Amino acid sequence: MYLTQGLHRSVQQKPNELAAVFGDRSTTFVELRNRVAQLAGGFRSLGLKDGDRIAYYGYNSDRFHEYYLAAFWAGLVVHPINTRWSGSEIAFSLADAGTTVVIVDDLAVEKDLLAHPAFRELTALVWAGAGQTPADALPWDELVAAAPIDDRRRNGADLAGLFYTGGTTGFPKGVMLTHENLVTCAMGAAIHRFVNCEAVFLHAAPMFHLADLAAWTVVNLTGGTHVMIPSFSAQLALEAIARHRVTDVVLVPAMLQALVDYPQIKEFDLGSLRHIGYGGSPISEALLVRTQKMFPDVTLCQAFGQTELSPITTLLLPHEHSLGSPRLRSAGRAVAHAEIKIVDDEGTEAELGSVGEIAARGPHVMAGYWNRPDETAAVLIDGWMHTGDAGYLDADGYLFVVDRLKDMIISGGENVYSAEVENALCSHPAVAMAAVFGLPDERWGERVHAVVVLKPGSAATEEDLREHAKGLIAGYKCPRSVEFTEALPVTAAGKVLKRELRESRLKASAID
């Protein structure tokens, strides 16, 4: 299968029905098909050929939607860029992927990214924004006016996208996902109703994020309607749901909390909303209770997975959201396209109920890390993706995630690798050592917390370190809390005992 297949089907079956809405702009399926075919021709006119990468950096919009479809139509590989990254992180991913064409909008101007050297070395910069086209950039409408081309229909094992994740070594890794990976995951998600078929779906989560792309793929394959808001706010989301009669949305818990906490929520007509998918970070039972009280007629579905798994591997289905049930603390069971197992330190399957590393197998497992064969071989073993997460299975196959083997923090639905943050902090001239880990946070699920040892005779404040880190890594990765200490606990081999640090902070907060 291929990722433009749903568009062809929808044009055949309902050409004049609504395909996408963004603000006051809307397109039918036949209009969308025509724009995509022309935009794909515009992409190829830039000298791009099958398998070349094309990036997008910007707000959610109908143009982001068209970018995905046109890139696949043209036989290209998508490279969506995290809009919270710093210029140096963006530059690294462009160089690593060999991406020479980037589409940007007003967000790039707002963040003053166009002056970065990485953007001056591109073959082409395409302007998809609302403001004035920057110098040396090609207007979006010029590419959409190009001669249409036939759908290349790259499919199956052909590479569809490079999706960069935080790296444990301090550098992002490009996860290679194929057409088969993404379509398989979407099919499984549709079967289990992570997103309903033919939904009117709201893109409130960032469209560069794979969780949103998984939902995007379901909506395309099943002929639904896409509704976009530029970025998440409770006000914008509620307005869009009411105005466009949205039926489905996928949110991270922090977004869900902002929605149910919005003071004027009862002023909106939300009667069209039928389903909320959520995932990406821990969620409290208290938030689930409040959500069900606020939306008694709305079903809920939780997803667990990771970018390397396209990304969904288990789901806690709507009928399994019984308040008070111990399984509400689980991540659900394996979806139709996946197998899961728990392995011990030797890689042997663990006994039922025993905690070990979560491994997954199926056609949704990534093709590997871009240009990183050793790191690929370390996690893909005999067809099984070793996730780096720890958990256990109960007698009925419900997965309980209990810890992360990797030093990863999930804050507001975004992955933060502690090594990246530690590297940034330790580059400050006053810092001798730093240990970074996650602590529970009511708003973000987890917050990035740093314990720092300063060099003798040096001084630095929490704000000094945070501002220093912001120059090197994305703002969401920077510590939300910092404490200073004279020494860090270490093993005999000199490894910092982060778990000991974290547990002591958790005990202290419990006593408080």
pLDDT digits (tens, 9 = 90+) for 355-407: 899 999 999 999 999 999 999 999 999 999 999 988 899 999 999 987 666 66
**H helical segments located in 248-301:** 253-261, 285-294
Rounded mean pLDDT of 472-492?
A: 87
Res 410: pLDDT: 84
User: Tokens representing 499?
Assistant: 């778990």
Does 427 score more than 90 pLDDT? no
Q: What is the mean pLDDT of residues 12-29?
A: 98
Per the listing, tokens 């919009």 go with 61
Residues 6 or more apart in contact with residue 205 via CB below 8 angstroms:
211, 212, 232, 250, 251, 252, 255, 413
**CATH 3.30.300.30 residue window(s) in the chain:** 408-511
Q: Looking at the chain, which residues constitute the CATH 3.40.50.12780 domain(s)?
A: 5-390
Provide the CA 393 distance to its chain's centre, in angstroms: 25
Token pair in block for residue 176: 């290679």
Asked which of 101-105, 230-234, 325-329, 342-346 is least confident by mean pLDDT, the reply is 325-329
Smallest Cα–Cα separation from 308: which of 363, 371, 391, 364?
Answer: 364
Reported confidence tier of residue 168, pLDDT bands at 50, 70, 90: very low
Give 278's pLDDT tier (boundaries 50, 70, 90): very high
The conformation of residue 116, written as its DSSP 8-state character, comes to S
pLDDT band at 461 (very low <50, low <70, confident <90, very high): very high
For range 313-342, the mean pLDDT: 93
pLDDT classification of 280: cutoffs 50, 70, 90: confident
Among 233-237, 405-409, 482-486, name the one with the lowest average pLDDT: 405-409
Tell whether the model's pLDDT for residue 284 goes beyond 50: yes
User: In the structure, what pLDDT confidence band is assigned to residue 282 with cuts at 50, 70 and 90?
Assistant: low
Q: Please tell me the distance from the alpha carbon of residue 250 to that of residue 381, in angstroms, as a whole number.
A: 31
38-47, 90-99, 320-329: segment of lowest average pLDDT: 320-329
Residue 264, C-beta contacts closer than 8 angstroms, at least 6 positions apart: none
Q: Average pLDDT for residues 271-276, to the nearest whole number?
A: 97
Percent of the chain with pLDDT over 90: 75
Closest among 224, 229, 248 to 239, alpha carbons compared = 229
**Highest CATH level, class, for 408-511:** alpha beta
**Cα–Cα distance, 153 to 95 (Å, whole number):** 27
pLDDT on residue 137: 96
Query: Phi and psi of 365, rounded to 5°?
Result: -75, 135
Highest mean pLDDT among 7-21, 169-183, 463-477: 7-21
Q: What is the pLDDT of residue 404?
A: 67
Q: Average pLDDT for residues 450-477, to the nearest whole number?
A: 93
In the structure, what pLDDT confidence band is assigned to residue 31 with cuts at 50, 70 and 90? Answer: very high
Structural fold of domain 5-390: Rossmann fold (3.40.50)
- Mean pLDDT computed over 124-147: 96
Checking if the pLDDT of 150 tops 70, the result is: yes
Pairing type for strands 101-104 and 299-305 reads unpaired
**In the prediction, which pLDDT does 285 show?**
76
Per-residue confidence (pLDDT) for residue 492, from 0 to 100? 40
Is residue 493 predicted with pLDDT exceeding 50?
no
Residues in the chain, how many? 512
Average pLDDT, whole number, for the chain?
92
pLDDT bin (cut points 50, 70, 90) of residue 236 is very high
Alpha-carbon distance values, 11 to 37, 74, 152, 198, 220 (Å): 13, 18, 17, 14, 11
Helix axes 29-45, 5-13, angle to 10 degrees: 140
- 311: cis peptide before it, omega within 30°? yes
- Find the mean pLDDT for residues 178-202: 95
Contacts of 311-314 with CB under 8 Å at 24 or more apart are: 311/185, 311/210, 311/211, 311/214, 312/185, 312/188, 312/189, 312/194, 312/214, 312/338, 312/364, 313/338, 313/340, 313/360, 313/362, 313/364, 314/338, 314/340, 314/399
Average pLDDT, integer, range 473-493: 84
Rounded mean pLDDT, 416-440: 87
